[in-house]
Amino acid sequence: MSTSSSSESPRHPFLDGLSKHRGAPPTVVVIFGASGDLTARKLIPAVYNLGHDNLLPPEFFLIGFGRKEMGDGAFRKSCAEAAREHSRREVLDDIWERVADHTSYLAGGYDEEAAFTKLRKKIDKLEKNLDRPIQAVFYISTPPSVFKPILQNLGAAGLARRHAGTPHASKVVVEKPFGRDLASARELNEVIRREFDEQQVYRIDHYLGKETVQDLLVQRFANSIFEPIWNRRYVDCVQITVAEELGVGSRGGYYEQSGATRDMIQNHTMQLVSLTAMEPPVSLGPEAIRDEKVKLLKAIQPLNPKPGEGDAVRAQYAEGLIGGQKTTGYRNEEGVADDSSTETYAAFRLSINNWRWEGVPFYIRSGKRLARRVSEIAVQFKRPPGILFSEADRFDLAANTMVIQVQPDEGLTLLLNSKIPGLETRTQPVKMHFRYKATYGSNTPEAYERLILDAMVGDSTLFIRGDETEASWKLITPVLEAWDSLGNRGLETYAAGSWGPLTADQLLWKRHHQWRRPSL
């Protein structure tokens, strides 16, 4: 028997244009810190581009939550401006209007339970009008100081347990930094566990959303030429560089409380280490991959922070030249103390105590005001026996190296040795390049697009589990505590525009290695 059309639920506007999604149920995304910089530069453009690609669920709603008083119209206008300024592609009015028509704003304090009660009523009203269950994804894009009250009020207002145990259960996305040491990370995890189940929690590290980071698993486990030599028998060392050309700018006050180790090493760089070195997972399931990452982090031996003798180096940038322009030193930046001991550069030598990597050093470094902006993973293989090509004046040979470029020019390079054309046998190193831009085009999705979509559909593969954050902090915290006790003792300097201090080079010389100089 047919049903009268008058009794059917009204068709939602998204159903006509945005229906090719990855299985997300009806969703409302709530952004805490809606007037912040990350929201404008990354989150709103990501939502727009998901809509452009028909990847938003048919029934999608966006609520901005912040301290700033603002009406729905003003928030929609600010979102439109953000999308047009920062989107990777042109903003089309018809697509944006579908997003804007279901975008609203709620003003309130992060420590005000009443504001969260209003938020719950607002979401309940959306659900009632839709006449279907709706999942809530709470995106915490605020300073870390208000993470706890937001999480606690989500619980107190009944938002954390909405539709618990169903496909429409609430989810919470927490931005970095996740704690500033092991104790604070454990405390934050305890707050989260009181309000949410672990499967509801998505601790974000946007590096995991980058195409080349995701491609690392494919390169390792989908190509039989790499995995058999990805071990101590063939690998001489691994170098991971996360370098920035910019200084701290106007963020000196924030950076004084962070430093390079907390800002980049503990999260981004350690994620690259774990994906590069972990054992093959039993499947591509989220927990299988995250289990192996945690095992790897736990296998890293404790670091010796003693200056000049240990496994860690720290430094600050001094005056120098960037792009031919003179730049100021860190201690002359706005908001930085004259006697600051905050490191703007950190390098570590990691030793992994397992069968695969015994005796293979992993060198990691990150810093500001370095020679150029680049993030890369370089796997340097052992040299062949020097029997046939041992004459240095005739044979220019380099160690075979596989370099995965994470940014800015995403791709992969293999360094090989080749004969120079001619009547005598001479050699030189050559590079084989694969570039995402050349093969797939330049308009690849931004990391936040993938991560927001994954959170909506419940795929936690590219997010960090609670025990993983604690394992990383357990390794790094003793070094930070040792540096705090030393003050400025052992703190090196390096010229802006260089690749860091001499002591970082010495960290490698002890094992007869040297840092790569990433080329353009």
Q: Which residues are catalytic?
A: 268
> Which token pair is 31?
């952004």
Pair 151, 192: CB distance under 8 Å: yes
From CA 170, how far away is CA 235, in angstroms rounded? 44
From CA 505, how far away is CA 514, in angstroms rounded? 6
From CA 86, how far away is CA 449, in angstroms rounded? 13
From CA 47, how far away is CA 420, in angstroms rounded? 51
From CA 262, how far away is CA 255, in angstroms rounded? 9
Single-letter amino acid, residue 347: A
Q: Can you give the length of the chain in residues?
A: 520
SS3 133: coil
From CA 111, how far away is CA 142, in angstroms rounded? 13
Binning the chain into helix, strand and coil, the percentages to the nearest 5 are 40, 20, 40
The residue assigned the tokens 């030393």 is 486
- CA nearest neighbour of 496 among 318, 366, 256: 318
Q: What is the DSSP code string of 261-320?
A: IIIIIIIIIHHHHHHHHPPPPSSSSHHHHHHHHHHHHHHBPPP---TTTSSEEEEEEEEE
The residue assigned the tokens 């939502």 is 47
User: From residue 409, how far is each of 75, 212, 402, 403 by CA, in Å?
Assistant: 34, 10, 15, 12
> Which token pair is 286?
């989220």
Query: From the DSSP assignment, how many helices (H) and strands (E) are in the chain?
Result: 17, 16
Contacts of 488 (CB under 8 A, 6+ apart): 339, 341
Contacts of 290 (CB under 8 A, 6+ apart): 460, 461, 464, 465, 468
